Chain A
Amino acid sequence: MRILGLALAWGLAVFACVFLLAPLVVIAAASFSPTAVFDLPTTGASLRWYQRIGTLEGFWPALALSLQVALLSTVVSLVIGTAAAIAIVRGKLPGAEAFAAALVSPLMLPGLVLGIALLQYFRGLGFSNPWGSLALAHLVITLPYVARTMLAGLTRFDFTLIEASLTLGCTYPQSITRVMMPALAPSFLVAGLFSFLASFDNYPVSIFLTDVRTKTLPIKMLQYIEEAPDPTLAALSALILLGTIVLLILADRAVGLSRMAGTAE
């Protein structure tokens, strides 16, 4: 019975790994397709779809917009979220627990609903700049990731380190830049990674805040897929995947996946 249970667990774990990786492997393989119909490169690999990524209509502006919004919202969220997490962890804040729960709550609530709510809200305020709307909306998308990771990181942070640095000659700002930030670097990295990815990949919120000329990369990609899917999209997907892998490897080097698994969810 025990053996049976173990065999079941291992079998399902292996199945889960294969199942989870399958789409990623397929997309990477299809990107080298020699023909235009997503054949696997069994007869010969081709790089021509990669060369055609840049020629996709509206690709470069969409990529630029997505990168700008993701970077800006991640950086601002890191500052805001860390400050809020410090206030919560250091106590002295009335209603700290409720505030912490509220900061993390957008994670569990439907993005699509946030999207239409912000659409109505910005319209009501007469705010119609799509770039600004996107940047503000993505703040709400990224903040929960930062808040969650930094709350976990700061709970483990020994604030005596700050006092130690003060007695060794750090001014208050120096104790932040020379001790607190480097000591929390792993948390910052994980928080930044997940909030960047969340923003870069977001579709349900962005779709309501863009106009014809201002579209993020996920919106463009869904449009390409619905209009005329060809291996160029597989090539683009494979590149995005490659970027994700690089970021994950960096995070693993700095933090370790095991610890990330404990803090990420």
Chain B
Amino acid sequence: MTMDAAAHLAVRGVSKRFGATTVLADIDLAMPKGELLTLLGPSGCGKTTLLRLVAGLAEPDTGTIILGGRDITRTPPYRRNVGVVFQSYALFPHLDVAGNVAFGLKLRKRPKAEIDATVGRVLALVHLDHLASRPIRALSGGQQQRVALARALAVEPSVILFDEALSALDRKLREAMQGELRQLLTEIGATAIFVTHDQEEALTMSDRIAVMHRGRIDQLADPRTLYEKPATAFALSFVGQSVRLAGRVTESVGGVSRIETPAGPVLAPKTFSPGYDVIVATRPEHVRLGPGDNTLTGTVTGVVFQGARSTVEIAAGGLKLSAELSGRETPPQPGAAITFGWPLAETLIYPAEGVA
């Protein structure tokens, strides 16, 4: 792993069990300095545990964690220089805004003048400089979120960890915060890990996304690759919408397999042995009315007009599928029998076992 050698943060072969439950199984992860990475997955996939291991709030059973060239696997959290923004923000209720931000600096015994300057600078960064002497309970949720961020940034941590940090905000505020946070972190060149179950947040915030499932990383890729070439059926279902058909491989010739599905035969660009149970899929935006490399017939059950595009709900062979039309195309009427298709190159195929 050449990348690992240059990595700012490296997690190697890390496992963690709680009693009989394996929470993390042999995790490898390497991040260059300045990268924004998201651990994405449903609750219980191990993403928060991995974050806690990096923060030092828990110890792995096996493996090592290296930060800035230093093995920190058994280092207590207070000697790691890691910033954490917690889901509940965990702001100290007995201190005011400035007191919270200065907390880590005081522990590092910085001179008073330097602390004041840093607190002012960081609070300005999150646009809260006018609230420095407010008590915590007088702040809104969004403001508290910013204080938590400022407190983590103030100590100039080697890596900042966000544990579902935006999930407590309402949708509008969350979306505004996502853009702002990404810009801010990029500006100061911070290395950050986000933990979230919100795929939109992951796509917006990250340079790379690690999709986690049952204690493993299913796929670690940039957002575009993740969306276009999901490595597993789980990654496919967890990120973005998809049209999915379960079926069985009947033959496989020249790198193309033929699959029998309840909706009819479909081709996919990958070799599988005949008799194999698979999932065949594509993204709704690749589905067109009329025949394609893969062609199916079905009945329109509904049309939802969404401005720039329309979603057509189709029943085919007892399955419900959806296709996307651009807003300029005239959608068919509900109840109409239609033919629809998509290109072979945009057909995804996965083994059926282990699909959630």
Contact = CB atoms under 8 A, between A and B. Distances in A.
Q: Find out whether A and B make contact in their complex, taking CB atoms under 8 A apart as touching.
A: yes
A223 B91 CA distance: 53
B355 interface: no
A53 interface: no
Interface residues on chain B, size class = 20 to 34
Nearest to A157: B93
B141 interface: no
Interface residues of A, number: 17
A165 B151 CA distance: 11
A163 B88 contact: no
Interface stretch (A90-98, A168-176, A194-202, A237-245): A168-176
Contacts of A183: 92-94
Given A160-B86, A160-B88, A174-B107, A167 B55 contact: yes
A182 interface: yes
Contacts of B227: none
Nearest to B57: A163
Given A174-B107, A183-B93, A183-B94, A164 B84 contact: yes
A161 B94 CA distance: 11
Contacts of A170: 78, 107
Contact of B56 (A160, A167, A174): A167
A61 B82 CA distance: 57
Interface in A135-176: 158, 160-161, 163-171, 174
B88 A168 contact: no
* Most B-side CB within 10 Å, residue of A164, A179, A185: A164
Nearest to B84: A167
A164 B107 contact: no
Interface string A2-26: 0000000000000000000000000
Contacts of B94: 182-183, 185
Contacts of B55: 163, 167
B57 A158 contact: no
B9 to A, nearest CB: 15
A170 B78 CA distance: 6
B107 A167 contact: no
Interface of B: 55-57, 76-78, 80, 82-84, 86, 88, 90-95, 103-104, 107-108, 151, 155
30 contacts: A158-B90, A160-B86, A160-B90, A161-B92, A163-B55, A163-B84, A163-B86, A163-B90, A164-B86, A164-B90, A164-B151, A166-B56, A166-B57, A166-B76, A166-B77, A166-B78, A167-B55, A167-B56, A167-B78, A167-B80, A167-B83, A168-B103, A168-B104, A168-B107, A170-B107, A174-B107, A182-B94, A182-B95, A183-B93, A185-B94
